[in-house]
Structure 1
């Protein structure tokens, strides 16, 4: 009976998260949206050299998703450190609009680093993926 209890415990404990070396689900939620117009431009990268604009990253995940509340799935990713940069493309033109270098549309980053002049560093926005699904709650910032 004791052995059955130990086996049952091991089965329950091992059923939740995936193995540390396996790809894991990545998702995000959005906080502070000022409207539901347009789309969200998403950049997911694991390279500091291509953050925050991962357009030239050969391993990037760069795509647009509809504006919505609740979790937004970003697919599965291999274990490692990642950073997410997003733009609330309110007018749907596929790019971040600026006025004198200041974003006219909302921007946000994983781990919600303090935004001063320019984008945060990869290190301040990066988070680990290993052994379990990850969900990042990203707060949007509007400057104009």
Structure 2
């Protein structure tokens, strides 16, 4: 009887083969124009839903006060991701524009150059392949 219990305890102590290792991501937002409003952050692994994350059921979205410049994501499967951030200064849950030009701040992981429109997923993509990763996102304001 003791041998069976010891064997069962040993099996429970062995990590599951094939279990997906999980990781954490710390995102720091810098260059904020003000502490007014909210910061809206979208973390996605789906290139087709970047940067909006609208139809991505696996995307992780968070809203934090604009005065808070850091956010922690835990229990993420390892892989490729991209982050999009907007500074929603008036709190209306969208990036306001004037003639297609953003009136509020925005930023992306890896801080890719901005040309006409948002960068592609590949330009903002980074890999989470260790227990903890970090991204520093520089906010940009056009108007």
After TM superposition, give the deviation of residue 110 of structure 1 in Å: 0.1
Partner in structure 2 of residue 26 of structure 1 = 25
Cα RMSD (Å): 1.2
Map residues 64-103 of structure 1 onto 2, 5 A cutoff. 64-103=63-102
SS of 2:83's equivalent in the other structure is strand
CA distance in 1, matches of 2:92, 2:69: 24
CA distance in 2, matches of 1:76, 1:26: 9
Partner in structure 1 of residue 14 of structure 2 = none
After TM superposition, give the deviation of residue 134 of structure 1 in Å: 1.1
Partner in structure 1 of residue 42 of structure 2 = 43
Query: CA-to-partner distance for each residue in 1:58-93, whole Å, 9 max, x for gaps?
Result: 211122112235532133310000000000001111
**Using a 3 Å threshold, how does the CA distance of structure 1 residues 22 and 68 change in structure 2: closer, same or farther?**
farther
Partner in structure 2 of residue 119 of structure 1 = 118
Partner in structure 2 of residue 140 of structure 1 = 139
- Unmatched 5+ stretches in structure 2: 1-19
CA distance in 2, matches of 1:134, 1:55: 25
Partner in structure 2 of residue 55 of structure 1 = 54
Please tell me whether Structure 1 or Structure 2 has the larger radius of gyration of its CA atoms: 2
- Unmatched 5+ stretches in structure 1: 1-20
Partner in structure 2 of residue 106 of structure 1 = 105
